[in-house]
Structure 1
């Protein structure tokens, strides 16, 4: 297991009893997506995590591969670290939501695959699904109601390989209640997308 550094987590206190866990992309850090926090619905406590593996001046959740790899050992190790961090929180939240960008989005889906009943919604931004099958996939597909998932991508995104996007889309449709959006952008988050994320979280 790759543990989460609890001292590196950035927090925004909300007004309700729900937690939004935020996970950054490859080579980034906990401060990157935390910039979104002032715009997110006030009812959430927001916790922005730092990935456990040093990478290029930032951090990674698992090893980068431009094409699909179906070895789950490294991504599961990181996901188990997030689950252990959640278990160690002093407060037990009524609902836990996930928001991940790029590698962080793959992590968000992986967490739901490991614990299909645990999470209330997922914002899956500029991302993909890790290849291969897991024991929890059938339970995830059979969950009623299915977890709502916002899947976004840019038509100019040259970081997430098109084969990963094409493979991931039908897999997500088979396992989640998907709201899919495409934007005219590269590998980044644009204002229109942020507005869609906020609206999605307000409905979740």
Structure 2
């Protein structure tokens, strides 16, 4: 089958009539193999699918949207490309549900950096599609969310977000600002920090895995 994005897949080890999905979204300059290293440690009943971003940066590197620099080395994100990727991923989720026995009511996004920024944009633009977001080393950018997203129903959406306190790529202050942003939308969110740079500490992995498993138990 040919879907909108290239991807890697780990089939669920425990087969149900419909299995939940964790969709992995890598960061800028990476590829679908990066976060897929988590797959073996994630719960057995999930489909684990890792998508490759559409913009080819060469040498096995991809991006969800361009990041440009001006003469003073200020960074600018291409918001038009980001919105296109947001819609492309939303379409990709629909394609996965149409082609695999996935529980459409139990779709989780796990994104790192640029993938985390997009995970927020997809979930807040389409909360009917997403149950859980795990946003690692990113932040919420409402410039790339759909118009009037604030009017959506977020009552079934849960978010775990985390950041390194010495992140040299995305300042931890940006992640901290996401806390009141989510609270104002009445979204169930858990935030944690770790003494690391732009990466995922082992404790961070265990914390979001436990958060995911505990929801499975209580829901």
What TM-score, normalized by structure 1, do the two folds share?
0.87
Count residues with an aligned counterpart. 197
1:139 paired residue among 148, 151, 159: 151
- Which structure 2 segments of 5+ residues have no match? 69-73
In structure 2, relative to structure 1, the CA distance for the partners of 1:162 and 1:193 (3 Å cut) is: closer
Paired position in structure 2 for 1:27:
29
The Cα RMSD (Å) is 2.1
User: Where do 1:105-124 residues align within 5 Å?
Assistant: 105-124=116-135
| SS of corresponding position for 2:82 | helix
The alpha-carbon deviation at position 77 of structure 1 amounts to 0.4
The alpha-carbon deviation at position 136 of structure 1 amounts to 4.5
Paired position in structure 2 for 1:93:
102
1:179 paired residue among 190, 196, 201: 190
Structure number with larger C-alpha Rg? 2
For CA contacts below 8 A with separation 6 or more, give which structure has more relative contact order.
Answer: 1
CA contact (8 A) 2:66 2:81 kept: yes
CA contact (8 A) 1:154 1:187 kept: yes
Deviations 1:86-116 (A, max 9, x none): 2223125222110000000011111112212
Paired position in structure 2 for 1:64:
67
Paired position in structure 1 for 2:56:
54
The alpha-carbon deviation at position 75 of structure 1 amounts to 1.1
- Which structure 1 segments of 5+ residues have no match? none
1:157 paired residue among 167, 181, 184: 167
CA contact (8 A) 2:54 2:62 kept: yes
The alpha-carbon deviation at position 67 of structure 1 amounts to 5.3
In structure 2, relative to structure 1, the CA distance for the partners of 1:163 and 1:180 (3 Å cut) is: closer
What TM-score, normalized by structure 2, do the two folds share?
0.81
| SS of corresponding position for 2:146 | coil
The alpha-carbon deviation at position 164 of structure 1 amounts to 2.9
